[in-house]
Amino acid sequence: MGDLEVGYREHVAGAASALYEWLSSTTSEIEDEEDVRNRVYKYYVPVYEEVVARLRSHCARGRKPMVVGVSAPQGCGKTTLTRMIVDMVRSTPRRFIDGVSDGNVTAATVSMDDFYLTAEAQTALAESNPTNAMLQYRGNAGTHELELGTKTLDALAQINDAQSSISLPRYDKLARTGRGDRKPESEWDQVSAPIDVVLLEGWMLGFEPIEDEKARAINPDLVAVNEHLKSYKAALWGTERVAWWIIFKVQDPKWVYDWRLEAERKAGGGLSDEQVKDFVDRFIPAYDAYLPALYENPPPGSLVVVVDKYREVQMVSVVSNEHDT
């Protein structure tokens, strides 16, 4: 084992220990010491090391940032994972990636939520589809500004060659008493070259449209959503944009009801329990329609994270081919 690899192993051990200590002192939901240890060493660290391994291969092929798609049902932990992995990535000396460079690895995050329509545009969409419950609020395919998403991801893809800075759009879910609105451009995040890793996360990332009749059988409102979905892959997560995937796998998407309610309460949101249920009701048809295919045939090389009802990780594994999860 060379000096660089020894240094890297020491770095991982130190980062994991620091994360363990931080979680032990700040995470109220996890009181059992073994739970904290499992979360760090069986979850965050394996995912982080997979990111590093893939980044080493990616950087050897060029300067374009490596975009990782993170797909997971709402509330199951993808945002927390994204934040933790980004922090660990940013603490990684770049020499552990290419063997020579100074400084640390750089990372940026983008959420599908950041591409939601403005409140004005969402209101117009709802008014033009008055009988479609799935298009009344943000969330489903059709409620995003795909042009903004494409423009943002294209700018990130070129940021290193252009040695430029760009603004990443951000969305405020608590605006308008929980109905949400895009933040003004003056409040968008600025990122500058070089960027090594981009984590693109979203609840519907990787969904593939189904036949219209199948959509209609699940829910008539899903037909319009399914039609909108046909434009998403090319705009946001085609193979030319996303290098590889982290996919959260859950047994029952209806767990989202509890997870979404818990998240709303933590964020101090303006939605009542009844409003949260009404909100989640509008997503369940999409989960029923699209999750089975994503789980059965994830993109080759995907890292699949299996979580239970309590968001505890049961397994982390790499898909060896399109039929093996």
Q: How confident is the model over 142-170, as pLDDT tens digits?
A: 999 999 999 999 999 999 998 889 999 99
The CA distance from 233 to 210, in Å, is 13
Report the b/e string of 285-324 with b at 16+ CB within 10 A: bbbebbbeebeeebbeebbbbbbeeebebeebeebeeeee
Residue 211: the pLDDT is: 97
At 275, the pLDDT band (50, 70, 90 cuts) reads: confident
Which of 28-42, 98-112, 115-129, 197-211 is predicted least confidently?
Answer: 28-42
DSSP state for residue 40 in the 8-state scheme: I
Domain ranges of the chain: 62-324
**Tokens standing for residue 86:** 């980004």
Enter the pTM of the model.
0.90
Q: How confident is the model over 19-70, as pLDDT tens digits?
A: 988 888 876 554 578 888 888 998 899 999 999 999 999 998 888 999 999 9
Residue 109 has pLDDT above 80, yes or no: yes
Which of 52-61, 300-309, 316-325 is predicted least confidently?
Answer: 316-325
Residue 322 has pLDDT above 50, yes or no: no
Residue 324: the pLDDT is: 41
What DSSP line would sit under 104-168, residue for residue? B--EEEEEGGGGBPPHHHHHHHHHHSTT-GGGSSSSSTTSB-HHHHHHHHHHHHHHHHHT-EEEE
Q: Once rounded to an integer, what is the mean pLDDT over residues 64-79?
A: 91
Strands 66-71 and 244-249: parallel
Question: Which residue would you say has higher pLDDT here, 36 or 194?
Answer: 194
Percent of the chain residues past pLDDT 90, beyond the cut: 68
Residue 252 has pLDDT above 60, yes or no: yes
Residue 238: Cβ within 10 Å count: 11
Pick 62-324's CATH classification: 3.40.50.300, 3.30.310.80, 3.30.70.100, 2.60.40.10: 3.40.50.300
